[in-house]
Structure 1
Amino acid sequence: MPADRPDHRPATDHTAAILAVKSLADAKSRLTGWDDHNRRALVTAMLADTIAAIRAAGCPHVWVVSPDPVVLREAADSGATGIAETLTGTGDGLNLAMAEGIGAARRRLPELRRVLLVQADLPAATGKQILEALVAAAPHRQALVADVRGDGTAMLVRDAHIGTPTRFGPDSAALHRRDGATELDPGRARWPGLRRDVDTAEDLVAAAALGVGVRTARVLCDGPDPDIPGTAECSPTACHRGRGYVMIDR
């Protein structure tokens, strides 16, 4: 699809990034091998690392929508604005939460131009990858980055005034394309960390192999799964830092 506006650098200071997180009691139920305490710690750690990557991309306005006060405190501690979700349990929770976040951003940021809708479980994403995707999205009113499987949406970028509901969930990439979003890098050759969301233990192994953020690495060091590369022998010195992120030694 051709670009529908002149190319330009993204005005990240006029962009609001929005993430939505379930109640910790319900989050990541498919993550086998992790007890409730460690699973909750992993969810908040991945959120913190995703927020850190967004802020490293130059987006100062990050909003987290959740019904869970622990998640909202974690968002605030990570430099984001927490929004208490009010429509939970009324239907399509994730997209309703995204709509709440968009509405709040529009009300509170009169200079808002773009919204960046991001999955909250991208511990291998980096600021460089997110910024590159924002640059690629800049010529388009709507653009998406599909997940590693190609059918989901890791990130959706839109003009702030667009009122079409988001379509996160099954087959969301196709649904967002149907609504007019341009898919960035449809061959999925770029931005592997940005595409790698974590729902299962296998996803977590794959994310760890790419390298994860500081908070997620810390949980992996203390976590219960010896099949994740590096966790069996992890120690405070077994993780090496690079550009603000941590790669687990394998």
Structure 2
Amino acid sequence: MTDLPTPPPSCRPPGETPWHVVIPVKDTRFGKSRLARATGADRAALSRAVADDTIAAAVGAVGAARVLVVTSDAGLTAQLVRLGIDVVPDPGVGLNPAIVAGLRRLTHTGRLSRPAALLGDLPCLTAVDLRAALAAAHPHDQSFVPDADGVGTVLRCGGMASGLRPRFGSDSAARHAADGAARLDLDLPRLRTDVDDPASLAAAIGLGLGPRTAGLVDRLGSGWIQGMQASVHTFDPEHHTGSVLLDDGRQVSFTAAAFEASGLRLVRLGQRLTVEVADEMVVSLGIVGIGPGQQIR
């Protein structure tokens, strides 16, 4: 991989923007640890593809000169420098210190326009969606966009680099709100879907991936997320959790999130379903004969 995916002309920045976007990217050799069992030796390639698509969307939204990546990944760094994207070494002590290192670079180099910290694992993100989120953030001095679950954060925006305090991590949405940042529950699922486990990867595939991640999934993804048929074994109608018996005899569970994303309202014991399984967990369910995105009648 020598270049980032090229945004289509309609996705390139229409003119001057007030935003700089800081993107922390963990060394892709060690990224996506929660996908290790599902993806095996392909984990590093997936981490790199996801980062490439995220950065390309940001470049399409604000321009390469206004994107700053914080990473210790030597291969990614070399690529970004060739493309004119500023890179700051990751201090290696966590996500928030990495973002702070990027914000300090903005301050020290006199780039005083508005900063935004964007997660580096958003493979569905488009430049159009990121520009829409930044436009929604513009009226607020401090703001954030929560992830699809509403608990984490995918984008944190501020008035100036020295005043943006990132609090990414578990329950980060509550911490950002407690700091006084406005919560922006935007209808932008491509922005709000970060990928860190098999279930979120399946959700991202359903939304549509960026070109690098899509190409990798097309080549290798059948070994990560396997489609098959199964029968409902248990179901809790109150909590929307349960399990299925696969046709090979294995019993695997599904979470409420996987069930609710399926479009189903109820299932009955013994009912036949099509399921996708990764890492011994059902990540999507459907009615036999009805494909993803097709209406359930």
Structure 2 length-normalised TM: 0.66
CA shift in 2, pair 1:78/1:221, >3 Å: farther
**What residue ranges of structure 1 are gaps of 5+ in the alignment?**
1-10, 230-247
1:47 Cα deviation after fit: 1.0
CA shift in 2, pair 1:161/1:98, >3 Å: closer
Looking at CA atoms only, which structure, 1 or 2, has the larger radius of gyration?
2
User: Which residue does 1:26 correspond to in 2?
Assistant: 30
User: Which residue does 1:149 correspond to in 2?
Assistant: 149
Q: Does 1:205 align with 2:202?
A: yes
Between the aligned partners of 1:209 and 1:77, the Cα distance in structure 2 is 33
Which of 225, 239, 244 is equivalent to 2:222? Answer: 225
Q: Does 1:178 align with 2:164?
A: no
1:226-245 residue pairs with structure 2 within 5 A?
226=223, 227=225
User: Which residue does 1:195 correspond to in 2?
Assistant: 192
Q: Answer whether contact 2:96 2:166 (CA < 8 A) is retained.
A: yes
1:16 Cα deviation after fit: 1.3
Q: Answer whether contact 2:106 2:161 (CA < 8 A) is retained.
A: no
* Number of aligned residue pairs: 214
CA shift in 2, pair 1:104/1:71, >3 Å: same
What is the SS of the residue equivalent to 1:167? coil
**What residue ranges of structure 2 are gaps of 5+ in the alignment?**
1-14, 228-291
CA shift in 2, pair 1:114/1:69, >3 Å: same
What is the SS of the residue equivalent to 2:31? coil
1:48 Cα deviation after fit: 1.1
Q: Does 1:67 align with 2:68?
A: no
CA shift in 2, pair 1:162/1:82, >3 Å: closer
Between the aligned partners of 2:82 and 2:203, the Cα distance in structure 1 is 27
User: Which residue does 2:50 correspond to in 1?
Assistant: 46
Q: Answer whether contact 1:33 1:224 (CA < 8 A) is retained.
A: no
Between the aligned partners of 1:160 and 1:102, the Cα distance in structure 2 is 9
User: Which residue does 2:92 correspond to in 1?
Assistant: 88
Q: Answer whether contact 1:141 1:158 (CA < 8 A) is retained.
A: yes
1:160 Cα deviation after fit: 1.6
Between structures 1 and 2, the one with greater strand share: 2
Between the aligned partners of 1:23 and 1:221, the Cα distance in structure 2 is 24
CA shift in 2, pair 1:126/1:21, >3 Å: same
Q: How big is each residue's C-alpha offset from its partner over 1:202-233, in whole Å with a ceiling of 9 and x where there is no partner?
A: 1111101111111111111222434378xxxx
Q: Which runs of 4+ in 1 moved over 4 A?
A: none
Structure 1 length-normalised TM: 0.78
Between the aligned partners of 1:46 and 1:74, the Cα distance in structure 2 is 15
RMSD (Å) for aligned C-alpha atoms: 2.5
Q: Answer whether contact 1:15 1:59 (CA < 8 A) is retained.
A: no
1:105 Cα deviation after fit: 1.6
1:13 Cα deviation after fit: 3.4
